Amino acid sequence: MENQNLVEIKGLTKSYGAKVVLEDISLTLPAGKIIGLMGPNGSGKTSLMKILTGMINDYSGDVRIDGQPVGAHTKAIVAYLPDKSFLPPWMSCQQAIGYFGDFYANFEKEKAFRMLEAFQLDPKQKVKTMSKGMQEKLLLLLVMCRSAQFYVLDEPLGGVDPSARQFIMDTILNNRPQGSTILLSTHMIYDMERVFDVALMIGRKQVLLNDAVANLEAQGKTLDGLFKEVFPYVY
Amino acid sequence: MFTKLLKHDFLQSGRLFIWQIFGCAAVGALVTLLSSAKNIGAAQFGVAMLLNLLLALIAWAAQLIGMIIVLVSTNRAFFSERGYLLFSLPASSEQVLLSKLLCNMAWLVLNSLVSGGLLFVMMRNFSNLAHNISDEMLEQLPPESAEQFKQGISGLIYFPSLGAVIKFVALMLVYLLVVYVLVMMAAIFVLTVSHVRPFANKAGLWVFLFMIITGVGSGLFIGLGTKLLPEVQPFQLTLFSVEGSVNATAAPNLTTGILMLALTAALFCLTNWLLKRKISLK
């Protein structure tokens, strides 16, 4: 069933021991939009993404994607790019593509091999012999070759130079299926402002902003300025 | 989805196990070849005996290494960065857990069969050595001692009939399967608990837990062994000797086996619940 809101979260609380990161938050994320997830370091961005993708299970509250609790069904429609390399070192590019092709019905193998060539990656090269940049390219390729409903991308632009940043953003935007939703966390707010449809800011254990960028612009606000306003203590 | 998980798990573990299994088979074949010379003297006999004793050491080392391989690979697949790959798959935690359990068991049983084969080869080689020993060497021993020596070594392997051998191997397979499923499940359970708050980073607690589980498991294991093969002590070489083959005809008592499987099922449910509700990947 098509949902206007792809993600619905009610009363979500996540803590690490005594440290509460997200406290009783409720929010919805609209389908078909590019959502920028912003917040200072340690604000719970990665935790929220891990909860949505089923990597974190010890939380309280109700989290639903496409009307379903996080589980096998939601994992089939969510493509997740974590902020770390997760491929075994012995795996080659073509083995990784074979693995994704085997498990995900929405993975396009031919497109993956085309992109491999475009990214100048050797299909037989193993992960352990790749540079960090090459591994990131491979992971991005694997995620973006899935025709997913929901892409969860954890800091894909972190620690890369401006031209690589442009390459990554182009890859994401050009390979995103029509109508799909992207949740992308970043600190590069100024660069990404024109790309986001919705701005989601979290910090101090709460959702501090969840609004369409167009609404903010209508009020004469920029995301960069708003971020500094919402998190003044950071600067 | 489950068959795909099984396929990939099996191939991934196989990358490591296949070398170990081929290595053991190659060493067994080489030592057999070196032990097959006719009319051997004292020096050759001594070397051949040592090489064959080395086979026993390799067999036990292969068992230990096999257990380490499955535990390390399971820990990495579930709880390291690679967990992001495994737990992103559109599979239920039951499927992931069962696939890993079955795959680990399959490789461990295969590994055990190869190790058992090495021990069998060792005793067969001992028997052959006794027959191939040179007359000159035997003449150096008192006649009675020489006869006792030959009979002692050649009597290491004796099976009354082919049927008894088949029954013995079949019983051993069932025995290994039941034991390994419990041991593997206990190990995965303990690994999982060691990543759950408040047990995470508290090594003492989960080592204690593992000791309790393996203690109970070992008790059941010895119990089952005693029921299946009443006069045979588990893990002793006599499993392959006269007593073992005779005892292979003993009717198995399933009670202990069922108890072990019930404990395994309980651990499976508990581990699955922990994976579903309590695990957070770093």
pLDDT of residue B240: 37
Per-residue pLDDT of chain A (235 residues; tens, 9 = 90+): 444 888 999 999 998 888 899 999 999 999 999 999 998 888 899 999 999 998 998 899 999 999 899 988 899 999 999 988 889 999 999 999 999 999 998 898 888 998 888 888 889 999 999 888 888 888 988 998 998 999 999 988 876 777 777 888 888 888 888 889 999 998 888 778 788 899 899 988 888 888 888 888 888 888 888 888 888 764 4
Q: Which residues of A touch B8 (CB under 8 A)?
A: 99, 102
Q: Going by DSSP bridges, is the β-strand pair A78-81/A68-69 parallel, antiparallel, or unpaired?
A: unpaired
Q: Where are the domains of chain B?
A: 1-157, 159-282
Picking from B72, B79, B85 by the largest number of A CB atoms within 10 A of its own CB, the best residue to mutate is B85
Q: Name the residue of chain A whose CA is nearest to B281's CA.
A: A55
**Between helices A109-118 and A162-175, what is the axis angle to 10°?**
160
Using CA atoms, how far apart are residues A158 and A137, in angstroms rounded to an integer?
13
Look up the ipTM and state it.
0.84
CA distance B100 to chain A (A): 16
**Lowest mean pLDDT: which of A41-45, B122-126, B228-232?**
B228-232
Query: Phi then psi for A120, rounded to 5 degrees?
Result: 60, 45
- Average pLDDT of the segment spanning B60-89: 87
Q: How much is the average pLDDT of B25-43?
A: 79
Strands A19-30 and A181-185: unpaired
Distance of CA B130 to the CA centre of its chain: 29
Which residues in chain A have their CB less than 8 angstroms from residue B89's CB? 75, 103
How far apart are the C-alpha atoms of B56 and B157, rounded to whole Å? 15
A5-88+149-234 adopts what CATH topology? Rossmann fold (3.40.50)
Task: Tally Cβ neighbours within 10 Å of residue B44.
Answer: 18
CA A196/CA A182 separation, integer angstroms: 9
Residue of A nearest to B96 (CA): A72
Which residues of chain A lie closer than 8 angstroms to B201, CB-CB? none
Smallest CA–CA distance from B92 into chain A, residue: A72
Task: Give B-chain residues touching A103 at CB under 8 angstroms.
Answer: 1, 4, 89-91
- Residues 6+ positions from A202 with CB-CB distance below 8 Å: A22, A25, A37, A38, A39, A43, A44, A45, A48, A208
Could you tell me the sign of the dihedral formed by the alpha carbons of A177, A178, A179, A185, in that order? positive
Interchain contact, A103 vs B4, CB within 8 Å = yes
Q: Which residue of A has its CA nearest to B197?
A: A17
How many residues in chain A?
235
Q: Chain B: nearest CA to A72, how far in angstroms? A: 4
Under 8 Å between Cβ of A79 and A149 = no
For B235, how many CA atoms within 13 A lie in the half-sphere containing its CB? 6
In chain A, where the domains are located: 5-88+149-234
Structure tokens at B177: 């399967």
Q: Give CA–CA dist A79/B46, Å, rounded.
A: 64
Q: Are B208 and B237 in contact (CB under 8 A)?
A: no
Q: How far apart are the C-alpha atoms of A125 and A143, rounded to whole Å?
A: 19
A72 CB neighbours in chain B (<8 A) are 1, 90-92, 95
B24 touches chain A (CB under 8 A): no
Q: Does A75 touch chain B (CB under 8 A)?
A: yes
Q: Are A234 and A71 in contact (CB under 8 A)?
A: no
Percentage, residues of chain B above pLDDT 70: 71
The rounded distance, in Å, linking the Cα atoms of A105 and B133 is 65
Looking at the partner chain, which of A17, A85, A102 has a beta carbon nearest the beta carbon of B81? Answer: A85
* C-alpha span between B247 and B164 (Å, rounded): 9
Strand order in the sheet with A60-65: A19-30, A5-16, A60-65, A68-69
Q: Residue B144: exposed, middle, or buried by beta-carbon count in 10 A (0-12, 13-18, 19+)?
A: exposed
Chain segment B4-24, per-residue pLDDT in tens = 899 988 888 888 888 888 888
Count CB atoms within 10 A of the CB of residue B2.
Answer: 14
Total residues found in chain B within this entry: 282
* A80 to B8: CB separation less than 8 angstroms, yes or no: no
What is the C-alpha R_g of chain A?
Answer: 18
Contact call for residues A143 and A85 (beta carbons, < 8 A): no
Single-letter amino acid code for the residue at A124: K
Give, as one character, the DSSP assignment of residue B239. Answer: G
pLDDT for residue A195: 85
pLDDT digits (tens, 9 = 90+) for A120-157: 888 999 999 988 888 888 898 899 899 899 999 998 88
Using a CB-CB distance cutoff of 8 angstroms, which residues of chain A are in contact with residue B197?
17, 58
| Dihedral (Cα; B211, B214, B215, B220), 10-degree rounding | 170
pLDDT at B243 (0 to 100) = 43
Residue A63's pLDDT is: 93
pLDDT of residue B199: 64
